[in-house]
Amino acid sequence: MKTILITGAAGDVGTHLRRELAGKYVLRVSDLRSLKKINKEEKFVRADISEMSDALRITKGVDAIVHLGGYSVEGPWEGILNANIIGCYNVFEAARRNGVKRILFPTSNHATGFYRRDQTIDHRVYPKPDSRYGVSKVFGEALASLYADKYGMQMFCMRIGNVNAVPIDKRRLSLLFTPRDLAQLVTIGIEHLGIRFEIVYGVSKNKRSWYDNSNAYRLGYKPQDDSETFAADILRRERPGDPIAEQYQGGVFTVAEDIPNPAPLPKKRAGKKRK
């Protein structure tokens, strides 16, 4: 069985993915925070990916990396810089030094969030980030391209929509990415032999999708779920939002300066200063 490192394993996406991949791979799970539950198939390693020494330690001896670790919403630049810019570089570079060839980078719909909702876009569009968070994901995609071309690594970038079993509002009807579809796309990213550098969209087969995801389908992705099942109930409950945010695929990220972080740092580390 292949050994797969999942960074950011304590987050919502990491938690879904760990459950879906249990028994299929040997999972090395890592986060700065503690995990609520560690399964017998997993080995937990605490790490701060903004420190290169930690990144080198957790990436040694694995077959592939799913790099979920980072700041997951719009917020202060320092937090995004440390987690999503420095942390991403450290993980990619540590993987290179340790001879790990394959990295799955869950980028985000917010890398293209300033495209309008009446547009359909594919993996070849020019990035239009909607936030500092979105900019950090564009950085990760560019870094992945560099490591593929310069070092011959295999980089699989997934522009994630919203990972959930059920969409929570109208916008998520276009972005739903169910846990089983997530697991399928991640498995393709781990196993497909022909990957060098790819960008795909991490969404289910939603009728209201804003994405031409033919690049993922080319690689064998066959999503099982469609948010339309929930559309009538959600639209009945939907209330008007910010008129600017409603125009763009990124939603509130296009207007917000700070969104509460669903995965804040532990208090004892939150005030840590970088040397």
Catalytic annotation, residues: 133
Using the Cα atoms of residue 22, residue 28, residue 31 and residue 32 in order, give the sign of their dihedral.
positive
Please state, in angstroms and rounded to a whole number, the distance separating the CA atoms of residues 88 and 85: 5
Using the Cα atoms of residue 71, residue 76, residue 81 and residue 82 in order, give the sign of their dihedral.
negative
Q: Within its chain, how far is the Cα of 46 from the centroid?
A: 19
Token pair belonging to 203: 């969404």
Relative orientation angle of helices 132-151 and 87-97, to the nearest 10 degrees = 20
Using the Cα atoms of residue 134, residue 142, residue 104 and residue 3 in order, give the sign of their dihedral.
negative
Using the Cα atoms of residue 108, residue 113, residue 117 and residue 120 in order, give the sign of their dihedral.
negative
Please state, in angstroms and rounded to a whole number, the distance separating the CA atoms of residues 32 and 14: 13
Q: What are the residue ranges of helices labelled H in 100-204?
A: 132-151, 170-175, 179-191
| Kind plus residue range of the DSSP H or E element containing 214 | helix 214-218
Residue 27, helix vs strand vs coil = strand
Contact call for residues 157 and 198 (beta carbons, < 8 A):
yes
